[in-house]
Structure 1
Amino acid sequence: MPFVVMITGIPGVGKSTITRLALRKARAKFRLVNFGDLMFEEAVRAGLVEHRDEMRKLNPNVQKELQMKAARRIVEMAKTEPILIDTHATIRTPVGYLLGFPKEVIEVINPNFIVIIEATPSEILGRRLRDLKRDRDVETEEQIQRHQDLNRAAAVSYAMHSNALIKIIENHEDKGLEEAVHELVEVLDLAVGEYD
């Protein structure tokens, strides 16, 4: 049976670090897939874009079709190996928040788990300010909390259309990175035996 885990979290929450470390420790060997990368590959293949930044300018209907193509690719991959999708549940735009997955797309992917990585707004803000390698949007703690709240709401919506379980993992400075990694490994290890 296909085993698909979606992992999401707002920028600065530590999602990439937790994911990387958990994949090393998990007994099940997941294929890490970035949903945006798959969409970009499909857009390039169709001759729609040359650079990733051009994706945002595509017609929303074209973007939705690219999402569907990426979703179908994930379904094919999941037939032979467990998949961990690195993605965004919601995307902050200049005019509002965009859901990362339309209903039709989440129904195709049909994830087993939706994992949300969270931290306090002050922790996220501090991490963003310390990470000089990334060009991140400046947000207030209130905006950061709103974005996390919207991610939770989006996860509930996605779960309604896929029967996925939702797991919230807190990545606090005092809790320790290792605990967050351990919690993700526990989810990933549920795939052990699914592909034997």
Structure 2
Amino acid sequence: MSFVVMITGIPGVGKSTITRMALKKTKARFRLVNFGDLMFEEAVKSGLVRHRDEMRRLNPEVQKELQLKVARKIVEIAEREPVLLDTHATIRTPAGYLLGFPREVIEVINPNFIVIIEASPSEILGRRLRDLKRDRDVETEEQIQRHQDLNRAAAVSYAMHSHALIKIIENHEDKGLKEAVHELVEILNLAVGEYA
């Protein structure tokens, strides 16, 4: 039996921080897998790209084949140990928003949970402005909210094709990181019981 918890959230929401802290606190032993990293590794192995920025320029059909290959690899890992899959439900491009997973790919991965990390647009904007290490696109609060709304819609679509449960965890400044981490730990601990 395989077990996959998919964790998503738009840039600046605190997904990576919450994930790292939750993995340290949970009794569960999850393998953290980044979907984009695996896709890039596969593309390099296949001689399709040399740099990560080249990934966006790949033919959509080639990208889909890479996604399917990575999805199968994730399932193989998940059959041996529970997987926490770090990914993006939607990707903002200059032409519009792109779903992170075509139907065929989400059906292969078949996640048990889809966790969406959210915060208010003003909090996300503030975090992005304070994070000088990252070079992120400038977005308005309205655009940030739209992106979060689209992530919810994408999660519903993914759940329709996988029967996954959806959990929204809010990472607000006043609520604190601690509560958000606690909520994710609860999901991961629940997964241990399901996986056993």
Please give the TM-score of this superposition, normalised by the length of structure 2: 0.98
Deviations, residues 98-146 of structure 1 (Å, cap 9, x unaligned): 0000000000000000000000000000000000000011000000000
CA contact (8 A) 1:3 1:78 kept: yes
Q: What are the residue-to-residue correspondences of 1:68-83 with 2, within 5 Å? A: 68-83=68-83
Matching residue of 1:55:
55
The share of aligned pairs that are identical, in percent, is 86
Alignment of 1:182-193 (within 5 A): 182-193=182-193
After TM superposition, the structure 1 = structure 2 runs for residues 19-34 of structure 1, keeping only pairs within 5 Å, are: 19-34=19-34
Secondary structure of the structure 2 residue equivalent to 1:64: helix
Aligned to 1:179: 179
In structure 1, what is the equivalent of residue 138 of structure 2? Answer: 138
Following the alignment from structure 2 to structure 1, what is the Cα–Cα distance between the partners of residues 174 and 194?
35
Q: In structure 2, how many angstroms separate the alpha carbons of the residues matched to 1:26 and 1:102?
A: 31
Question: Deviation per CA, 1:151-174, whole angstroms, max 9, x where unpaired?
Answer: 000000000000000000000000
Question: Secondary structure of 1:105's match?
Answer: helix
The number of equivalent residue pairs is 196
Give distance in 2, aligned partners of 1:152 and 1:85. Answer: 17
CA distance, structure 1, for counterparts of residue 184 and residue 51 of structure 2: 32
Match of 1:36 in 2: 36
**Structure 1 gap segments, 5+ residues each:** none
* Structure 1 residue runs of 4 or more that deviate by more than 6 Å after TM superposition: none
3-state SS of 1:13 partner? coil
Q: CA deviation at 1:67?
A: 0.2
Q: How far does the alpha carbon of each residue in 1:15-74 deviate from its partner, in whole angstroms, 9 at most, with x for none?
A: 000000000011111000000011111111111111111100000000000000000000
**TM-score where L is the length of structure 1:** 0.98
1:194: Cα distance to partner? 4.8
Q: Unpaired segments of 5 or more residues in structure 2?
A: none
Amino acid at match of 1:19: T
- Give the Å deviation of 1:191: 2.2
CA RMSD of aligned residues (A): 0.8
Cα 1:195–1:69 shift into 2, 3 Å: same
- 2:35 and 2:83 map into 1 onto residues whose CA distance is 11
Q: Give me the whole-angstrom Cα distance separating, in 2, the residues matched to 1:145 and 1:195.
A: 35
What SS class does the counterpart of residue 80 from structure 2 fall into? Answer: coil
